[in-house]
Structure 1
Amino acid sequence: MDTTTSSNVEGYSKFLGYAPSVPLAVVGLLLYIVAGAGLIFMTCKHGGRWMLAMPIAVCCYAVGIALRFAVRASPANLMIYVFCNFFTSLSPCGMIAAEYVLLGRLSQYLRSDDFLFISSRNITRVFVTSDVLTFLVQAGGGGIMVMESMRKIGEKLFLVGLILQLISFAIFTIMFLRMLLLIRSRRTAVWGQDRREDRMNDWRVLAAGMTISCIGVLVRSFYRVAEISGGYDSQLSHTEGYFWALDALPLFIAVVVYIPLWPGRFITDSPGFKGVEMKPGADSQQSILYTR
């Protein structure tokens, strides 16, 4: 469909390059509301308030989807588009921050700091700090982009933020997977400590869920980098299907996986629970588990 024909479509937004689909927005909004409610419920039931950044981010992303209705109703309103783009573009930073915190907690629980590039205490500081910085860079770029005369500069700044975020999360994912592989090969007792438990109480299931979540975030990150690299006038940017398939869907999978696998069920908040500790002189194959 050419630009002239597209612009005659009801609700067509020149900022998005298409008229937002109402059915897709309804489905997307409902799914994210359910996901956000589910994560909040699991937080209240099982603890793990250190993961609160995720349900908050999910709710903010839902706001971004809801604003697509407003964009369609007032397609010429720049500020509505800006807020819509702000929520859908920057909310994932909160989801990513939660992943960073989770790895630190999981590493402490398994006493596997020696398998990380940096200690678990510093993971949150280093990666969350990088997440905040990339958030600020993206927010700054997004703010500049609304000025027509500085749009290109804003795009480049926004792209820099996305690339830095992608690099940071890719390094994080590699470190996480490396930790799992080393635990499996060098600390078999820790790897299989929950083998007699119900599968949904096995920490390895949580690790599998986190792996799926990381893949979802990476898919979305690569998409956003490719989208902005091509410019806001590119086919990738002006095709709504790509947004739902490569942004909203991967992120939904990344967060919804934690509803049945809420980290608070596996990693207790109780100060009396210290997780796995290696027995003195037992090398890396033996471990004991402290309980409440």
Structure 2
Amino acid sequence: MANDNSNFKFFHYDPSLAAAVIFAILFFATASMHAFQLLRRRAWLMIPFFIGGCFELIGYIARAIACRQTPNWTLGPFIVNTLLVLVAPALFAASIYMLLGRIMLLTGGEQYSMIRRRWLTKLFVGGDVLSFLMQSSGGGIMAGKTAKAIDLGQNIVVGGLVVQILFFGFFLVVAAVFHLRIGRKPTAESRDVPWKRHINTLYAASILILIRSIFRVVEYRQGNDGYLLDHEVFLYIFDAVLMLGVMVLFNVVHPSEISILLRRGKVLGQSSQLNSITNVRENAKGDGGQV
């Protein structure tokens, strides 16, 4: 469907209803599991991740609705699909950034980080918020459908994606340096906790999001008549499949294990402190002294 003011088209092909429905079902399944894991294990750092999964689910439901409108597409389902699928990975990234900080805390290895843990989450989540706002505002501007609005919106979206890529790239460097250093000189805490599989999952998910973001940059740089926008299969291969993979990865190796171990360590630490105070009091009484 073209607009009189430009060559803008909602879709450059007849979108597949079957593909949209299949991925809506798959995202519903993994998002439901994340909801269960998050609530049952109180892994609050995964709240942004779960919201991102809901964005993917709603995005593909909207795409399925748009498929049923072919060829008389309306703006609502199109913009919901485009915008939510576009910004969902930024929410995945927020939880991934927080996860590295939790791993550093669990292993007692903050001294091996290039950036202090208290600043690490703030820095990367801050960059992620900037990327999210740029992508969402760019997607909203593109809804204007005029040539000027489309060009401006695409440029803002590309800028947001570049910000995401730069922050993610630097984040992976920080994670790799920490991993290398603690591997060479393990802390006492790191020997007793299963942190390695969590950081490996973090790497895998980050790389999948990076590949997807690079694809999106190329897609938007090609413009409204680009080859990637003309072929639906690329959206599913380089976005839907990769983001589904990220969600499933964290279903299998869920960060709640880190949260549970941190809570357990805090409780044990408090118990040890209370026991020490009790022992001091008892010893003082036994010696006839006062506490």
TM range (shorter): 0.7 to 0.9
Q: Which residue of 2 aligns with 1:280?
A: none
The higher radius of gyration belongs to 2
Aligned to 2:18: 23
Q: Which residue of 2 aligns with 1:178?
A: 177
In the alignment, the residues of structure 2 paired with residue 104 and residue 266 of structure 1 have an alpha-carbon distance, to the nearest angstrom, of 11
Contact 1:162 1:224 in 2 (8 A): yes
Q: CA separation in 1, counterparts of 2:251 and 2:76?
A: 34
Cα deviation, residue 192, structure 1: 4.0
SS in 2 for 1:76: coil
TM-score scaled by length of structure 1: 0.82
- CA root-mean-square deviation: 2.4
Percentage of pairs with the same residue: 25
Residue deviations 1:148-197 (CA, integer Å, cap 9, x gap): 13221111111111111111111111211221121111227555434xxx
2:262 and 2:100 map into 1 onto residues whose CA distance is: 18
Question: What does 1:1-292 align with in structure 2 at a 5 Å threshold?
Answer: 14-74=9-69, 75-147=72-144, 148=146, 149-187=148-186, 191-194=190-193, 202-268=194-260, 271=263, 273-274=265-266
Q: Which runs of 5+ in 2 are unaligned?
A: 3-7, 274-291
* 1:244-266 deviations in Å (ceiling 9; x for gaps): 11001111111211112111123
The number of aligned residues is 260
Contact 1:61 1:87 in 2 (8 A): yes
Structure 1 residue 45: deviation in Å?
2.4
What displacement does 1:118 show? 1.4
Quick one: distance in 2 between partners of 1:167 and 1:241? 27
Structure 1 contact 109–274 (Cα < 8 Å) conserved: no
Distance change in 2, residues 1:46/1:61 (3 Å): same
Q: Distance in 1 between matches of 2:188 and 2:242?
A: 34
Query: Is the CA contact (8 Å cut-off) linking 1:33 and 1:62 kept in structure 2?
Result: yes
Could you tell me how far 1:129 is from its partner in structure 2?
A: 1.2
State the distance in 1 between where 2:248 and 2:213 align. 18
TM-score normalized by structure 2? 0.82
8 Å Cα contact 1:191-1:204 kept in structure 2 = no
Distance (Å, rounded) in 2 between the aligned partners of 1:188 and 1:114: 10
Structure 1, 75-84 or 27-36: larger mean CA deviation? 75-84
Structure 1 unaligned residues grouped into runs of 5+:
1-5, 8-12, 195-201, 278-289
User: Does structure 2 conserve the Cα–Cα contact (< 8 Å) formed by 1:54 and 1:98?
Assistant: yes
